[in-house]
C-alpha cells in the first residue's frame, strides 16, 4: 500500500473528525472517578460520538467489541471495556477513533485517578513530552526516523522503556494507512516527510522494560514486567515549517483539571 497524500480539503475533514475525538475523550475524562466501570465510559463515548453524527471507528474493527480501548495500569493498549471498576491510583489510557464524513480521527490520552506515585507521574509527563518532541519533527524534509528518534531518545534518557511492537500510522479514509511511525529509530532514516501526509504519532512508554505480551482475549497488550504504561496520541498533518496538529487535548486537560479540583474540594470537606 502506498502513502495516500491528502488535499487541504481532505485534511480539513480529518481535522473535524480528530477534534471530535478530543471532545469525546473530554466527555469521558469528566466521568472518570473511582467506582465507575470501564463499560460505562465506553457507553458515554459511543453515545456522544453518535449524537455528533459520527461512527465509533473502533467498534467492529477486526471484531473489536467496543468504541474505546481502555487500558489500565500495566495494560499498554487495546484494553476491552467491561465490568472492571476503576479505583484510586489507577493509570487509565483511553484510545478513541471516529469516522465522520468518511474520514477518520484518532487520538489517545492517559488519565490518572487520584494520587499516583512520583514515578508514574513522571512516566505520564515524559510520554506526553515525547509525543510533542516527535511532532516537532513532523515537518516536510525530515524523515520518519527523525520522529522516531525524538520519541525514543527522550523516553529512554528518562529511564523508561519504549514499546516497539506497536507503531503510529497514516490516517485518512482508513484507520491505519501507510506509513508506519515507530517510536524508536535512527535520525535521518526512513521515508521523507512531505506535505499532504497525515499521520498518528503515538508514543507507548513503559515505566519499566520495553517488553510486552498479548493476553488471551486476543486484544489487550500488557507490559511483560507488569509495571505501568502510558500512551498519548495526536493526528498530525505534515507542515512546511511546523506540524499541523489536527486533534486537541485542550478540552481533555480542562476536564482533567476540573476533576482534580473537585477531588481536592471533596477531600477538604
153 phi and psi angles, rounded to 5 deg: -60, -45
Q: Considering its fold, how many domains does the chain have in total?
A: 1
255 phi and psi angles, rounded to 5 deg: -65, -35
Task: Look at residue 2 and tell me if it is in a domain.
Answer: no
Cis peptide before 169 (omega within 30 of 0): no
- Looking up residue 63, the CATH number of its domain turns out to be 3.90.230.10
pLDDT in tens, 237-262: 999 999 999 999 999 999 887 766 55
pLDDT in tens, 9-23: 999 999 999 999 999
E strands, the chain, in order: 55-56, 68-72, 75-77, 91-100, 103-112, 161-162, 168-170, 177-181, 198-201, 204-206, 212-214, 221-223, 229-231, 234-237, 244-245
Task: Look at residue 230 and tell me if it is in a domain.
Answer: yes
pLDDT in tens, 157-211: 999 999 999 999 999 999 999 999 999 999 999 999 999 999 999 999 999 999 9
Confidence of residue 72 (pLDDT cuts 50, 70, 90): very high
Question: What pLDDT is attached to residue 266?
Answer: 56
Task: Look at residue 1 and tell me if it is in a domain.
Answer: no
Q: What's the rounded Cα separation, in Å, for the pair 155 and 246?
A: 24
Q: What's the rounded Cα separation, in Å, for the pair 151 and 139?
A: 15
pLDDT in tens, 28-45: 999 999 999 999 999 999
Instruction: Determine contact, residues 222/202, Cβ cutoff 8 Å.
Output: no
Task: Look at residue 119 and tell me if it is in a domain.
Answer: yes
Instruction: Give the global pTM.
Output: 0.94
pLDDT at 263 over 80: no
Task: Look at residue 203 and tell me if it is in a domain.
Answer: yes
Range of the domain at 210: 8-264
Spatial CA neighbour of 103 closest among 17, 220, 5, 12: 17
Task: Look at residue 269 and tell me if it is in a domain.
Answer: no
pLDDT in tens, 95-107: 999 999 999 999 9
Instruction: Determine contact, residues 95/231, Cβ cutoff 8 Å.
Output: yes
Instruction: Determine contact, residues 177/4, Cβ cutoff 8 Å.
Output: yes
Q: DSSP alpha helices (H): ranges in 83-242?
A: 118-135, 144-157
Question: What pLDDT is attached to residue 258?
Answer: 72
Task: Look at residue 3 and tell me if it is in a domain.
Answer: no
Amino acid at each position: 500500500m502506498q502513502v495516500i497524500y491528502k488535499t487541504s480539503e481532505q485534511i480539513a475533514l480529518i481535522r473535524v473528525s480528530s477534534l471530535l475525538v478530543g471532545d469525546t475523550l473530554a466527555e469521558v475524562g469528566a466521568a472518570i472517578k473511582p467506582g465507575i466501570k470501564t463499560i460505562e465510559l465506553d457507553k458515554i463515548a459511543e453515545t456522544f460520538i453518535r449524537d455528533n453524527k459520527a461512527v465509533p471507528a473502533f467498534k467492529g474493527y477486526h471484531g473489536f467489541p467496543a468504541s474505546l480501548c481502555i487500558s489500565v495500569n500495566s495494560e499498554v493498549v487495546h484494553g476491552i471495556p467491561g465490568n472492571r471498576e476503576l479505583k484510586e491510583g489507577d493509570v487509565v489510557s483511553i484510545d478513541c477513533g471516529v469516522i465522520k464524513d468518511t474520514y477518520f480521527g484518532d487520538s489517545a490520552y492517559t488519565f490518572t485517578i487520584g494520587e499516583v506515585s512520583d514515578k508514574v507521574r513522571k512516566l505520564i509527563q515524559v510520554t506526553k513530552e515525547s509525543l510533542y518532541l516527535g511532532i516537532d519533527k513532523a515537518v516536510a524534509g525530515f524523515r520518519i526516523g527523525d520522529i522516531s528518534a525524538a520519541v525514543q531518545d527522550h523516553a529512554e534518557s528518562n529511564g523508561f522503556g519504549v514499546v516497539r511492537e506497536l507503531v503510529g500510522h497514516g490516517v485518512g479514509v482508513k484507520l491505519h494507512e501507510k506509513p508506519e511511525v515507530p517510536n524508536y529509530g535512527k535520525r535521518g532514516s526512513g521515508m521523507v516527510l512531505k506535505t499532504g501526509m497525515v499521520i498518528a504519532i503515538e508514543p507507548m512508554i513503559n515505566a519499566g522494560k520495553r517488553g510486552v505480551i498479548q493476553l488471551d482475549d486476543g486484544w489487550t497488550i500488557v507490559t511483560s514486567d507488569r509495571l505501568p504504561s502510558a500512551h498519548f496520541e495526536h493526528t498530525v498533518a505534515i507542515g512546511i515549517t511546523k506540524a499541523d496538529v489536527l486533534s486537541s487535548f485542550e478540552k481533555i486537560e480542562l476536564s482533567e483539571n476540573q476533576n482534580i479540583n473537585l477531588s481536592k474540594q471533596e477531600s477538604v470537606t
